[in-house]
Structure 1
Amino acid sequence: MFQVCSPQLVSMQTRDGVRLDADVYYPDIDGTFPVLLMRQPYGRAIASTVVYAHPAWYAAHGYIVVIQDVRGRGSSAGEFRLFETEIADGADTIDWAANLPGSDGHVGMYGFSYQGMTQLYAAAAQPSALKTICPAMIGYDLYADWAYEGGAFCWQTNLAWAVQLAAETARRSGDESTFLKLAAAAKSLPLADAVPVDADLLRSLAADSFYHDWLNRPADDDYWQRLSPKTYAAVLADLPMLHIGGWFDTFARGTLNLYQAMAAASPHPQHLIMGPWTHLPWGRRAGDLDFGTAAVNPCDRLQVQWFDYWLKGIANGVADAPAVRLFEMGSQDWLVSETWPLATPQQFYLHPTGLTSMTCGVLSPDLPAAIVPQSDRLVHDPWRPVPAVGGHATYPAGPIERSSVDDRSDVLTYTTEPLIERLQIVGAAELALYCAADAASWDICVVLSDVHPNGRAYSFAQGYQRVNQTDALPLVVKLQPTCIVLPKGHCLRVSLSAASFPAYPVNPGNGDRPETAQRIAQQIITLSINGTAITPSSLVFTGDLAAG
């Protein structure tokens, strides 16, 4: 490893004349080096060190490292408009970085979340100097992988992010009053009311926030297509990629959908790492569980190996390494493979009792022996919606112990007998649910848990769906993909509820969109789950990675 010079502040001009500022880290030695680029909106000094090693560590491995403030963020000039200018600005930055003093003309990119998205936007312009990228925790389809899940607005995460970005806008403009109000709101989000979600705070303090677009634009609006990396899939496939995600990351669907699309279409290697991580941090502990030393973040070293191969041509075994690396929760170890599927598809059936909301219903690989006349009923009270506990869509995320939530009478639980042998679950899961309700619209939340012999239940996968009365049966609720082994003596549980608040706004029941829903319209909703032998609701583990 090399000594590293103090970072230099270096500016560039975009094609439309906007100044973008970057910190540039050089190895303290003569020679030419490849460039590693990260473009981010949170102030370049942070450099995503919440999950990655400091840029100086990468520079010490023989790279020029560029950490740039995107347009309108940090000290860069211009107006920040979420994702709107990142294709052109990214391409201009790559051309500029490739011609920095000491650059050998080869550029790679890394970063997660927004910084992962800037990689995909830059790659969409096909700059010749860009040789590889390492996108982590991204939204491949901006609507379905980021802003909404199953047609439901991802309220808590979207609002928190919008407040953070709006506070930075106020800080840059010197508006101290607005900044302080938003900074206070960030520490205590205005989530007290289930509906409406069109926050007064952002309407009054951040009229230009992306949040308003995300609430007001329906799924078929061309806004989503224009800003979705999925739109540029054909050109993205021209690059080798190292994909990084976490089983409890809110954007795991996007990471896996991008990986799967690229693995199917690209002539270049596509490698995948999925750890037992939340959006941040990436470590051995998530939620209430410790996954051991094997879960400690390996991504910095793996990225350097990846860049050494693709940017320096070092024969370090990357080309021969397995393409897929998944952390298997339960065994607390990594699975490696070349292709999917890794597991045989499995199916479990929900057996109704009519008293499932009071006692545990049955989940079994066997079909119900005979037609059961009663259905399980769930009564949703909007005054006391079922709370979001762990998983990927709320904070704190991860495998949170939820047995007290499962004891609520407005939660239906279906649990297997203690397993007589270990149960391995790898990839996607979906629940085919025969369900009716006495409202025009309702929500269904599906949570999978590992129930320990002491009765503690730790969630490991979740799905959410907004449903209209006219939707066809069975409803198919897609769950967050996972990789876990349940030991002998443990149980698998499916929990059903009509809310997961405040991860998603409470459905008022009348079919109104979240931006127009009014609290006065909210209503009690009764759901009827039919588990007869003719039309049994069932949980299916596909053994694949498809996330919807």
Structure 2
Amino acid sequence: MFTVLPKQTASMQTRDGTRLDADIYRPDGEGEFPILLMRQPYGRAIASTVVYAHPTWYAAQGYIVVIQDVRGRGSSEGEFKLFSHEITDGEDTVNWAASLPQSNGKVGMYGFSYQGMTQLYAAVNQPAALKTICPAMIGYDLYADWAYEGGAFCLQTNLAWAIQLVTETARLRQDKVVYQALFALSRNLPVNNPEILQSLAPESFYHDWLANSQEDAAYWQELSPKRHLRSVDLPMFHIGGWFDTYLRGTLQLYDDMAARSTPQHLLVGPWAHLPWGRKVGDADFGLNAASPVDIMQIRWFNQFLKDIDTGLLQEEPVCLFEMGSNIWRNFPSLKVSNQKFYYLSTTGLASIREDSGSLTANRQSHSQNSDVLVHDPWRPVPALGGHAAIPAGVFERSHLDLRADVLTYTTEPLAADLHIAGDIILEIFCSADRASYDLCAILSEVHPDGKVYNLTQGYIHCPIGTNPAPLKMQLQATCARIPQGHALRLSLSAACFPAYPMNSGTGAVINSEGLLNAQIITLTIRCGGETNSQLLLPVVAPN
């Protein structure tokens, strides 16, 4: 361990002459050290300490730590425009940091969320000094992993983030009136009047994200890291959380990079976007759930920036926290070949009685029934926990399952422990009396005392003209042990508001005027016979 010198502030110029400012933390020692770089938009003094150790801790491990304000944020010059300058600014910053006094010329990057995205963009042009990155909680496909899920706009998280960013913009401009108005909105999200941002922050990315609702829009093709990283082959340590809204991006990036030649490791904890600790919502996953990320990152950087054989290259690359057992488990990959099928069965009263809808291992090939679900926009099913709502995490939801606009399908109490790890797929035969509808699916654990706790969920927006049979939905990946005597429950609804906008019957309600035209939607879920809806679980052996 090194003592750490007082923080220094230094500036660099990008290729177009824009000044970017950074804080530098140095170990007090002779010789050369590798660089750890974080580029972020929230004011560099924060340095992502909401989830990581302070930069002084990293510097004490023998690294020069550089925390930089991206263009147009903090004290850096230029105009902040979401992700637009991060490829070239990131490359310029890597090259500048590698040339700092006492640098050994090797740069690694770390950070989560926007700070994870800046790592991906910096890697695009493959600067020689960038030897490894540790992206956490990112959007690899910016449309499908961040802005939208299953074609549905991620309303609550996108709106909250947009307000956070434009509030900081107002503060930097010293616009007191707009700042105070936005600060008030941040404490009470205007989910029924989001167009207020048009007047307070007309330059926000939020408006572009709403306007580009189709995945193939040129906007997403230009900004999405996935498009730019096709030729990149760089060692990466990927970090995610089971209740993080961007887990899809973390897992897809890992999958793509693991197919290339360089080492890729993955860690997924039982965390929401922040903090990374033992408690998330109503659940306490114990001391093992406390973040090991700082220690693991130093080991990773020692391997690739200091050429120390840490032994990690001989270990299985995937490390997942198994909820319920509350232990970390290692796997050779994310691929699980053993699937357990549960089929939906009903007497037709799954919206009224908990004992009407069931999940059974036996296909109901000779009998067919349907459940009818009525969505009333006056009282949409509210979001509760999971990965898409604020707050995220695990919550007791039996009161929601008793609503008549929620269908529930429950297994018998399990005869033995069930261990699952990976993607969960729902194939469901569903039709509606309107041109467009949404479907939300939540998988929960039912305790013997009747309490119900969500494990994972999925959401899909069915636009006008689509009525697939069966409808296929991928729920958020998870890793959990469901103990003997407990049961699994699938809950279906036509809304999860305000995590996602309500569907008016013709499309998403994205402003207050749209509420005027929102219609009651009737969904029909078919079970049994040739239309046997089913749930596919990825089953793994006990540890």
Q: 1:421 to 1:512 in 2, by over 3 A?
A: closer
Q: State the Cα deviation string for residues 474-525 of structure 1 (Å, max 9, x = none).
A: 1101100000110000000000000000000100112367469711110011
What SS does structure 1 have at the residue aligned with 2:523? strand
Percent identity for Structure 1 against Structure 2: 59
Contact kept in structure 2, 1:123 and 1:235, CA below 8 Å: no
Contact kept in structure 2, 1:343 and 1:426, CA below 8 Å: no
Listed as ranges, the matches of 1:206-217 within 5 Å are 206-217=201-212
- For the aligned residue pairs, the C-alpha RMSD in angstroms reads 1.3
- Name stretches of at least 5 consecutive residues in structure 2 with no aligned partner: none
What SS does structure 1 have at the residue aligned with 2:527? coil
Listed as ranges, the matches of 1:427-466 within 5 Å are 427-466=422-461
How far apart, in 2, do the equivalents of 1:234 and 1:378 lie? 43
Residue 117 in structure 1 maps to residue 113 in structure 2: no
Residue 63 in structure 1 maps to residue 63 in structure 2: yes
The residue type paired with residue 386 of structure 2 is G
1:251 aligned to 243, 246, 250, which one?
246
What SS does structure 2 have at the residue aligned with 1:12? strand
Residue 307 in structure 1 maps to residue 311 in structure 2: no
What SS does structure 1 have at the residue aligned with 2:135? strand
Contact kept in structure 2, 1:428 and 1:543, CA below 8 Å: no
Listed as ranges, the matches of 1:105-504 within 5 Å are 105-191=105-191, 193=192, 199-217=194-212, 218-236=214-232, 238-264=233-259, 266-342=260-336, 344-360=338-354, 361-368=357-364, 370-372=366-368, 374-468=369-463, 469-504=465-500
How far apart, in 1, do the equivalents of 2:26 and 2:327 lie? 36
**Counterpart residue number, 1:84:** 84
Contact kept in structure 1, 2:282 and 2:395, CA below 8 Å: yes
What SS does structure 2 have at the residue aligned with 1:107? strand
Contact kept in structure 1, 2:151 and 2:460, CA below 8 Å: yes
How far apart, in 1, do the equivalents of 2:466 and 2:224 lie? 28
The residue type paired with residue 92 of structure 1 is D
Contact kept in structure 2, 1:433 and 1:473, CA below 8 Å: yes
**Counterpart residue number, 1:21:** 21
Contact kept in structure 2, 1:424 and 1:486, CA below 8 Å: yes
Q: State the Cα deviation string for residues 337-384 of structure 1 (Å, max 9, x = none).
A: 222434611111000211110112101111115222x31000001000
How far off is 1:390 after superposition?
A: 0.6
With the length of structure 1 as denominator, give the TM-score of the two structures.
0.96
How far apart, in 1, do the equivalents of 2:344 and 2:173 lie? 56
- Name stretches of at least 5 consecutive residues in structure 1 with no aligned partner: none
How far apart, in 2, do the equivalents of 1:60 and 1:334 lie? 27
What SS does structure 1 have at the residue aligned with 2:46? coil
How far apart, in 2, do the equivalents of 1:7 and 1:175 lie? 30
What SS does structure 1 have at the residue aligned with 2:254? helix
How far off is 1:472 after superposition?
A: 1.8
How far apart, in 2, do the equivalents of 1:176 and 1:511 lie? 37
How far apart, in 1, do the equivalents of 2:335 and 2:82 lie? 36
Contact kept in structure 2, 1:215 and 1:515, CA below 8 Å: no
How far off is 1:201 after superposition?
A: 2.0
Contact kept in structure 1, 2:418 and 2:539, CA below 8 Å: no
Contact kept in structure 2, 1:399 and 1:460, CA below 8 Å: yes
What SS does structure 2 have at the residue aligned with 1:72? coil
How far off is 1:541 after superposition?
A: 2.1
How far off is 1:226 after superposition?
A: 1.2
What SS does structure 2 have at the residue aligned with 1:67? strand
Contact kept in structure 1, 2:33 and 2:103, CA below 8 Å: yes
Contact kept in structure 2, 1:343 and 1:425, CA below 8 Å: no
How far off is 1:68 after superposition?
A: 0.2
How far apart, in 2, do the equivalents of 1:350 and 1:471 lie? 19
Contact kept in structure 1, 2:244 and 2:387, CA below 8 Å: yes
How far off is 1:235 after superposition?
A: 2.5
How far apart, in 1, do the equivalents of 2:174 and 2:135 lie? 33
What SS does structure 2 have at the residue aligned with 1:430? strand
How far apart, in 1, do the equivalents of 2:388 and 2:507 lie? 22
Residue 72 in structure 1 maps to residue 67 in structure 2: no
Q: State the Cα deviation string for residues 198-227 of structure 1 (Å, max 9, x = none).
A: x23210011100000000013221110111
The residue type paired with residue 172 of structure 2 is R
Contact kept in structure 1, 2:139 and 2:145, CA below 8 Å: yes
What SS does structure 2 have at the residue aligned with 1:235? coil
How far apart, in 2, do the equivalents of 1:514 and 1:433 lie? 27
With the length of structure 2 as denominator, give the TM-score of the two structures.
0.97
